[in-house]
Structure 1
Amino acid sequence: MKPLTKNMLRSINQAKGRFIAIILIIMLGVLIFVGVKATGPSLNNSLNKTVADKNLSDVQVVSTTGFDKKDIKLAEKVKGAKAETTKFKYVMGGKSKVAIALYGYDKDSKQNQLIVRNGRLPKNSHEIVLDKNARNKYDYKLGDTFKFSKSADLKRQSYKIVGFVDSPQYIDNQSRGVTNIADGQVSLFAYIPKKQMNLATDTMLNVRFNSLKSKNTFSKDYKNAVNAKVKKLKKEFKGRAKQRTNEVASTYLSTLNQQQKQLDQLKAVNPTAVAIQQQKLDTAKEKILKQAKTTYTWQTRQDLTGFSAYGESSDRIAAIANVFPVFFFLIAALITFTTITRMVEEARGEIGTFKAFGYTKWEIAKNYFYYALSAGLIGAVLGAVIGTETLPRIVLSMYKQYIALDWVISSTWQTLLIAVIFSLLATVGAALLVVRRELGEGPAALMRPKAPKSAKKILLERIKPLWNHLSFNSKVSYRNLFRFKSRMFMTIIGIAGGTALILTGFGIQNSITASGNQQYKDIFSYQAVVKLNENANLSKVDRILNKDKNYRSNTRINSTTAKLNYDKKQVNDVNVYTPTSAKDFKKYVHLTTNLDKNKVALTKKTAQLLNVKTGDKVKVTLTSGKKVNLKVGAITENYVGHYLYLSPKTYRQKFGKLKTNTLLLSLKNQTSAQRKHLANKLLDSKQVMGTSYTYDVSDTVSKMSTLLRPIILILILLSGILSFVVLYNLTNINVSERIRELSTIKVLGFYNNEVTMYVVRENIILTIVGIILGYGVGNLLTAYILNQAATEQVIFPLTIHWIGYVVATLLMIIFTAIVMLVTHRKLKHIDMIGALKSNE
Structure 2
Amino acid sequence: MNTTYFKATIREITYAWGKFISIVLIILLGSLLYVGIRATGPDLDNSADQYFAHQNLGDLTVTSTLGLNNRDLNLIRADPKVQTAEPSHMVTVKKSPNQVVQVYSYAKSAKLNQLKLASGHLPQKADQIVLDQKAKDYKIGDRYRLPATDGLTTKTFKVVGFVNSPLFVSSTDRGTTNVGSGQVNYFAYAPAAAFNQKAYAAIAVRFNNTAHLTAGTSKYNQQVDHDKARLESKLKQRPAQRRAEMIAPQLKKIDQQLAQLQKQRRKLAAVPSAYQTATTKAAAAKVAAGVKQLTQAKRQLQKTPQATYLYNDRTANVGYQDYFDESKSIAAIAVIFPGFFLFIAVLITFTTISRMIEKNRREIGLMRALGYTKDFISMKYVIYSILAGILGSIAGGVLGTLTLPKFIFSMLSNNNLTHYVGVIPWAFIIEALVAGLIATLGSAAVVLIINLREKPTELMRERAPKAGKRILLERIKPLWNRMNFNQKVSYRNLFRYKTRMIMTIVGIAGCTGLMLAGFGIRDSVNDLIPDQFNQVQHYQGIVTLSDADKQVHDPNIKAQTAAMVQSITVSPTKGTKRNATVTMVAPKTPTKLNDYVSLTSTQTGQSEKLTNQGVIITEKLATDMHAKKGSLLSAKLGNKLLKVKVAGVTKNYAGHYLYMTPKYFNQVSTTTYSSTSRLLKLKSESASQRQKTSRNLLKQSGVMNVTYPRYASSSLGTVGLSSVVLIFIALSAALGLVVLYNLTNVNISERMRELSTIKVLGFYDNEVTAYVARENVVLTLAGIVFGWGIGLILHHFIMIKAQTGAILFPLTVHYPGYIWSAVLTACFSLAVGVITHYKLKHIDMLDSLAASE
**Shorter-normalised TM range:** 0.7 to 0.9
Matched, 1:755 2:768: yes
2:385 equivalent among 357, 372, 397: 372
CA distance 1:345–1:69, change in 2 (3 Å):
same
Is the Cα–Cα contact under 8 Å of residues 121 and 162 in structure 1 kept in the other structure?
yes
User: Once the 2 structures are TM-superposed, how far is the Cα of residue 162 of structure 1 from its aligned partner?
Assistant: 2.3
Matches within 5 A, 1:544-555: 545-546=552-553, 550=557, 552-555=559-562
Counterpart of 2:182 in structure 1 is 184
Matched, 1:475 2:476: no
User: Once the 2 structures are TM-superposed, how far is the Cα of residue 186 of structure 1 from its aligned partner?
Assistant: 2.2
User: Letter of the aligned partner of 1:538 in structure 2?
Assistant: A
User: Once the 2 structures are TM-superposed, how far is the Cα of residue 220 of structure 1 from its aligned partner?
Assistant: 1.8
User: Once the 2 structures are TM-superposed, how far is the Cα of residue 428 of structure 1 from its aligned partner?
Assistant: 0.9
User: Once the 2 structures are TM-superposed, how far is the Cα of residue 68 of structure 1 from its aligned partner?
Assistant: 3.1
Q: Larger deviation: 661-670 or 270-279?
A: 661-670
CA distance 1:144–1:290, change in 2 (3 Å):
farther
Is the Cα–Cα contact under 8 Å of residues 558 and 660 in structure 1 kept in the other structure?
no
CA distance 1:760–1:182, change in 2 (3 Å):
farther
Is the Cα–Cα contact under 8 Å of residues 509 and 705 in structure 1 kept in the other structure?
no
User: Once the 2 structures are TM-superposed, how far is the Cα of residue 673 of structure 1 from its aligned partner?
Assistant: 6.6
Q: Secondary structure at the match of 2:414?
A: coil
Counterpart of 1:91 in structure 2 is 93
Is the Cα–Cα contact under 8 Å of residues 531 and 661 in structure 1 kept in the other structure?
no
> How far apart, in 2, do the equivalents of 1:363 and 1:430 lie?
18
Matched, 1:743 2:756: yes
Matches within 5 A, 1:308-347: 308-347=321-360
Q: Secondary structure at the match of 2:26?
A: helix
User: Once the 2 structures are TM-superposed, how far is the Cα of residue 482 of structure 1 from its aligned partner?
Assistant: 1.6
Counterpart of 2:165 in structure 1 is 167
User: Once the 2 structures are TM-superposed, how far is the Cα of residue 346 of structure 1 from its aligned partner?
Assistant: 0.8
Identity %: 39
Is the Cα–Cα contact under 8 Å of residues 116 and 164 in structure 1 kept in the other structure?
yes
Q: Secondary structure at the match of 1:470?
A: coil
Unmatched runs of 5 consecutive residues or more in structure 2: 269-282, 601-605
Matches within 5 A, 1:422-571: 422-527=435-540, 538-539=548-549, 541-542=550-551, 545-546=552-553, 550=557, 552-556=559-563
Counterpart of 2:396 in structure 1 is 383
Is the Cα–Cα contact under 8 Å of residues 64 and 203 in structure 1 kept in the other structure?
no
Q: Secondary structure at the match of 1:33?
A: helix
> How far apart, in 2, do the equivalents of 1:128 and 1:627 lie?
39
Matches within 5 A, 1:677-826: 685=702, 694-695=709-710, 698-700=713-715, 703-790=716-803, 794-826=807-839
Counterpart of 2:274 in structure 1 is none
1:302 equivalent among 309, 315, 324: 315
Is the Cα–Cα contact under 8 Å of residues 170 and 304 in structure 1 kept in the other structure?
yes
> How far apart, in 2, do the equivalents of 1:133 and 1:581 lie?
37
Counterpart of 2:261 in structure 1 is 263
Is the Cα–Cα contact under 8 Å of residues 508 and 736 in structure 2 kept in the other structure?
yes
> How far apart, in 2, do the equivalents of 1:691 and 1:127 lie?
31
For residues 654-687 of structure 1, the C-alpha deviation after alignment (integer angstroms, 9 at most, x for no partner) is 99999665756133348697898799889x849x
User: Letter of the aligned partner of 1:178 in structure 2?
Assistant: T
User: Once the 2 structures are TM-superposed, how far is the Cα of residue 158 of structure 1 from its aligned partner?
Assistant: 3.7
> How far apart, in 2, do the equivalents of 1:215 and 1:107 lie?
27
Question: Normalization by structure 2: what TM-score?
Answer: 0.86
Counterpart of 1:666 in structure 2 is 680
Matches within 5 A, 1:352-363: 352-363=365-376
Counterpart of 2:36 in structure 1 is 35
Unmatched runs of 5 consecutive residues or more in structure 1: none
Q: Secondary structure at the match of 1:323?
A: helix
User: Once the 2 structures are TM-superposed, how far is the Cα of residue 248 of structure 1 from its aligned partner?
Assistant: 4.2
> How far apart, in 2, do the equivalents of 1:562 and 1:107 lie?
34
Counterpart of 2:594 in structure 1 is 586
Q: Larger deviation: 602-611 or 321-330?
A: 602-611
CA distance 1:675–1:208, change in 2 (3 Å):
farther
Is the Cα–Cα contact under 8 Å of residues 127 and 162 in structure 1 kept in the other structure?
yes
> How far apart, in 1, do the equivalents of 2:424 and 2:489 lie?
51
Q: Larger deviation: 302-311 or 450-459?
A: 450-459
Q: Larger deviation: 49-58 or 161-170?
A: 161-170
Is the Cα–Cα contact under 8 Å of residues 102 and 184 in structure 2 kept in the other structure?
yes
Counterpart of 1:275 in structure 2 is 288
Q: Larger deviation: 37-46 or 470-479?
A: 470-479
Is the Cα–Cα contact under 8 Å of residues 595 and 645 in structure 1 kept in the other structure?
no
User: Letter of the aligned partner of 1:15 in structure 2?
Assistant: A
CA distance 1:250–1:378, change in 2 (3 Å):
same
For residues 755-801 of structure 1, the C-alpha deviation after alignment (integer angstroms, 9 at most, x for no partner) is 22222222222111111111111111111223333458543331112
User: Number of residue pairs matched?
Assistant: 820
Q: Secondary structure at the match of 1:133?
A: coil
CA distance 1:444–1:590, change in 2 (3 Å):
same
Is the Cα–Cα contact under 8 Å of residues 548 and 674 in structure 2 kept in the other structure?
no
- CA RMSD of the aligned region, Å? 3.8
> How far apart, in 1, do the equivalents of 2:543 and 2:221 lie?
34
Question: Normalization by structure 1: what TM-score?
Answer: 0.87
Q: Secondary structure at the match of 2:105?
A: strand
For residues 577-625 of structure 1, the C-alpha deviation after alignment (integer angstroms, 9 at most, x for no partner) is 7766553222123233354699877765677789999xx8656778788
User: Letter of the aligned partner of 2:85 in structure 1?
Assistant: A
Q: Secondary structure at the match of 2:595?
A: coil
Q: Larger deviation: 168-177 or 190-199?
A: 190-199
CA distance 1:617–1:164, change in 2 (3 Å):
closer
Q: Secondary structure at the match of 1:267?
A: helix
User: Letter of the aligned partner of 2:93 in structure 1?
Assistant: V
> How far apart, in 1, do the equivalents of 2:237 and 2:675 lie?
31
1:209 equivalent among 207, 210, 219: 207
For residues 692-741 of structure 1, the C-alpha deviation after alignment (integer angstroms, 9 at most, x for no partner) is 864478444xx332222222211221111111110010010111111222
> How far apart, in 2, do the equivalents of 1:835 and 1:140 lie?
81
Q: Secondary structure at the match of 1:498?
A: helix
> How far apart, in 1, do the equivalents of 2:95 and 2:665 lie?
41
User: Letter of the aligned partner of 2:130 in structure 1?
Assistant: V
Is the Cα–Cα contact under 8 Å of residues 529 and 710 in structure 2 kept in the other structure?
no
User: Letter of the aligned partner of 2:679 in structure 1?
Assistant: L
Q: Secondary structure at the match of 2:718?
A: helix
